[in-house]
Amino acid sequence: MQKLIPRPHQQLVLPAPSEEALAASQHLQKRITDEIMASGGKISFSRYMEMALYMPDLGYYSGGSTKLGPDGDFTTAPEMTSMFGACLGQLAGKLLPQTSGDCMEFGAGSGKLAFDILTECQRAGISINRYFIVELSGELRARQEQRLKDFPQVIWLSEMPDAFSGLVIGNEVLDAMPVDLVIKTSEGWTRLGVTAQNDVQSGFQLCSMQDETDSISHLIEQIPDAEQLPHGYISEVHAIAAGFMRSVAAMLLAGQKVSGQGSLSLWFDYGFPAHEYYMEQRDKGSLMCHYRHHAHPDPFYYPGLQDITAHVDFSAMAKAGIHAGLDLVHYSSQAGFLLEAGLTSILSRIDVDDSKQYLPAANALQKLISPAEMGELFKVLVLGCGMELPAHFAHHDRCHRL
């Protein structure tokens, strides 16, 4: 098995974990190593990423450590400012009357986005019949239940229902889904896997999976002009996220059949359309890890204690939804979408002369929409059935770039 990339975590200088956290990471490493050995000495990178993020009680998202905010590893738009959720609450007021009046959120995290949406709707007299949260983590659900205890319309689900009609929201959901890694060699494209020695201290390494031709051909269908890219080119493909989008499509189409009403799904995340994602210059992919507000490229650093993420290929997500029967409704930068949704009008509620309130809010708004911050890197993809956004959103639409 060929070692393809050196293990850079040996050179990283990052905050040391507590003894308890280190023990949990070592336990997870042992579980991963055991599966590697039981699988003939290697597993796919997507399986490694799945275990590192979602292994019950040990994975990054299923463990008990704080992930979001100043005490965590990264900050999302809802954690940064309540204006993000208030903006979506106002948009919900325009969209929900065309639906069953229900919302569903994936990847609700601490529950902050749900809280801000529901608070805004309560303030504005906007009716949400039911607000479903699909949550697999018992620890996160407990946090959400505490934060949302004053909103009786919130209902938790442990899995995606067969049918749903309404408004679906996912903020930074797709980037957290396991990805496959592929590399182009002199012999063609191959999938990258993960191998290990028998002891935890030796760590993990990338290796070639040497896939069957049909398997790798299916994966690289996502990459435009794959044969023109140079040897040594490494990138991610998003088969699991595309499968998730197909499942969402089936759920919404079934909901339309049952209720006779349409639905929209809104996906906020960082990423690019395919022709920008798979540029020749981006030859090491976009995989990135986050550990206590430090970003670095090593996915094998303290498994279970750090986030592992990849930018989203929005072309692949759109195609998955369209092929499953949904309509491509909208694609734009986060800045354009939030401005059309009324973000500045929410800021205008704060008295400019109240500097203690206004300046932090204005700074947060700037981070949400500035091209140098989240405004351009983050995109919004809207897929649906039987519904459209208000006409003025077309001013910023970039569907033609997908």
Query: 214-263 pLDDT, tens per residue?
Result: 678 888 989 999 999 999 999 999 999 999 999 999 999 999 999 999 99
d(CA 120, CA 307): 30
In order of 145, 152, 155, 340, the CA distances from 149 in angstroms are: 6, 7, 11, 31
pLDDT score recorded for residue 62: 81
In order of 28, 177, 277, 323, 385, the CA distances from 284 in angstroms are: 27, 19, 11, 29, 37
Nearest C-alpha neighbor of 220 from the set 248, 183, 254, 255 = 183
pLDDT score recorded for residue 386: 96
Please give the average per-residue pLDDT across 9-21, as a whole number: 77
Q: Report whether pLDDT(4) > 70.
A: no
Which helix (H) or strand (E) covers residue 215, if one does? Answer: helix 213-220
Q: Report whether pLDDT(10) > 90.
A: no
Cα end-to-end distance, the chain, whole Å: 37
In order of 76, 158, 215, 294, the CA distances from 72 in angstroms are: 11, 25, 38, 10
- For 267, what's the count of Cα atoms within 13 Å in the CB-facing half-sphere? 27
Q: What is the CA 51 to chain-centroid distance, rounded?
A: 17
Q: Report whether pLDDT(51) > 90.
A: yes
- For 122, what's the count of Cα atoms within 13 Å in the CB-facing half-sphere? 13
pLDDT score recorded for residue 12: 67
Helix, strand, coil shares of the chain, percent, nearest 5, are 40, 20, 40
In order of 23, 29, 70, the CA distances from 33 in angstroms are: 15, 6, 32
Q: Report whether pLDDT(50) > 60.
A: yes
User: What DSSP designation does 232 have?
Assistant: T
Is the domain covering 1-402 a CATH 3.40.50.12710 domain?
yes
Handedness of CA 73, 77, 78, 83 (dihedral sign): positive
Q: Report whether pLDDT(2) > 60.
A: no
**Of 185 and 66, the one with more pLDDT:** 185
d(CA 112, CA 131): 13
In the chain, domain spans:
1-402
Q: Report whether pLDDT(74) > 70.
A: no
Task: Quote the pTM value.
Answer: 0.93
- Contacts of residue 272, defined as CB under 8 A and 6 or more positions apart, other chains included, come to 311, 312, 313, 314, 379
Q: Report whether pLDDT(33) > 50.
A: yes
Residue-level length of the chain? 402
Q: Report whether pLDDT(202) > 80.
A: no
Which helix (H) or strand (E) covers residue 47, if one does? Answer: helix 45-54
- Across all residues in the chain, what is the average pLDDT? 91
CB count in 10 Å sphere of residue 268: 26
pLDDT in tens, 284-319: 999 999 888 788 999 999 999 999 999 999 999 999
Q: 6: pLDDT confidence band, cut at 50, 70 and 90?
A: very low
**Of 136 and 39, the one with more pLDDT:** 39
DSSP 243-298: HHHHHHHHHHHHHHHHHS--EEEEEEEEEE-HHHHT-TT-TT---EEEETTEEES-
Please give the average per-residue pLDDT across 200-208, as a whole number: 79
User: What DSSP designation does 20 have?
Assistant: H
In the chain, % of residues over pLDDT 90: 80
Please give the average per-residue pLDDT across 20-30, as a whole number: 93
Please give the average per-residue pLDDT across 254-281, as a whole number: 96
**Strands 263-272 and 312-313, bridge-based pairing:** parallel
Cβ pair 176, 107 in contact under 8 A: yes
CB count in 10 Å sphere of residue 345: 12
Q: Could you identify the residue written with the tokens 């990283």?
A: 12
d(CA 344, CA 364): 11
**Cα–Cα–Cα angle for 294, 298, 302, rounded to 5 degrees:** 75
Indicate the residue type of 167.
Answer: L
